[in-house]
Chains A and B, each alone.
Chain A
Amino acid sequence: MPEGPQPVALLLAWLVPGLGHWYLGMRRRAWRIALGVLAMFAGGLLVGGIDAVDSTLFYKRMLSSSTPPERVDGDMVWFLGAMFTGPVAFGVDLAHQYRFKVVEDTMTAQGVVRVRRGAMPYEIRDARTGKAIEVRDKATGAPIEFLDPVTGVTRLATSADRPPNIQALGRVREIGTLLCTIAGMLNLIAMIDAGWGRRRSYDPDRGQSRAGGAT
């Protein structure tokens, strides 16, 4: 195994937590890194729901300047940490943005701006257009009549008519977001270790007897 920078291991470590160390022959370390990072990321989603991963699509605006004006509500700063968990973070984020959030066109000083936001508890999401449809009274939560976008029939809302996800609030939101972000930051440490670690040739985990210090 050559010493020095390992760009392939670095990339693999980002693609799947632990894969960089697996590639370098450190299988036991790889399993433990994967367990810690992925369990923490999954734990963040279990606690805070899909709302725990929310990029505001900042990378889309960075990659393309020709996209129409769009404002996305969310927690971009936290995603800067969570994105190091790998493609799984981007996959969850894209599902959140395009399958769970609702869109509405709002008039601003700059013209019409498309706003992408979380659905309120009194709204459902039209899967075809992504727009919100009010199915409950905002103040009381009592069901109201609405035009069903699937059947085209006006009917009274039932308990099955619920928002695509419930937005987390308070401490639960904080802990859920924190778990996903720390998962990404831990994988960043693992990526650096895989890409530039000095452990390589003497690591007993690679089946060699010579012991050495940590990186």
Chain B
Amino acid sequence: MNPAQMNTLAKASAAASTWREQLAGWSYRPFIDPINAHHWWWALIVPLALLTAVAYKAVRLPTLERYWREVALMSVQVLLGMAALAATLWLLVEVFAGSFRSS
């Protein structure tokens, strides 16, 4: 990296820092602004699975006697399915595709 490129990078970094400070100073407005969940976005899959099961089982079950048990079961099934999909894709990209790249 030459000095001109380093200078440009330093300026961009300083500008990004100023912008970060600016954005951090703005309070969160519910239902208007997005939450700062960039580091734990994956945890939002839990309410997604749970609420999907709440509405879906309310429609599909013949009786509501075992409703909450069925909701919990479906939520766990969805979460495990997503985890399995993620693991499969990780294997596909990191292991199988990686072996092609190295060969």
A residues near B, CB below 8 A?
A: 17, 28-29, 32-33, 35-37, 39-40, 42-43, 45-51, 100, 121, 136, 139-142, 159, 162, 164-176, 178-179, 182-183, 186-187, 189-190, 193, 199, 204-205, 211-215
**Chain A interface mostly:** helix
**Most chain A beta-carbon contacts within 10 A, residue among B26, B42, B58:** B58
B residues near A, CB below 8 A?
A: 14-15, 18-19, 21-23, 25-26, 29-38, 41-42, 44-45, 47-48, 51-64, 67
CB-CB < 8 A to B54: which residues of A? Answer: 32, 35-36, 39
Whether B23 lies near A36 (C-beta < 8 A) is no
Q: Which single residue of chain A is at the shortest CB-CB distance from B58? A: A32
CB-CB < 8 A to A173: which residues of B? Answer: 34
**Chain B interface mostly:** helix
CB-CB < 8 A to B62: which residues of A? Answer: 199, 211-214
Whether A121 lies near B48 (C-beta < 8 A) is no
CB-CB < 8 A to B35: which residues of A? Answer: 46-47, 172
With A and B bound together, what is the CA distance between A175 and B45 in angstroms?
8
Contacts A36-B58, A37-B55, A51-B34 hold; do A175 and B48 have CB atoms under 8 A apart?
yes
Give min CB distance, A189 to chain B, whole Å: 6
Whether B48 lies near A178 (C-beta < 8 A) is yes
With A and B bound together, what is the CA distance between A205 and B18 in angstroms?
58
Q: Which single residue of chain B is at the shortest CB-CB distance from A30? A: B58
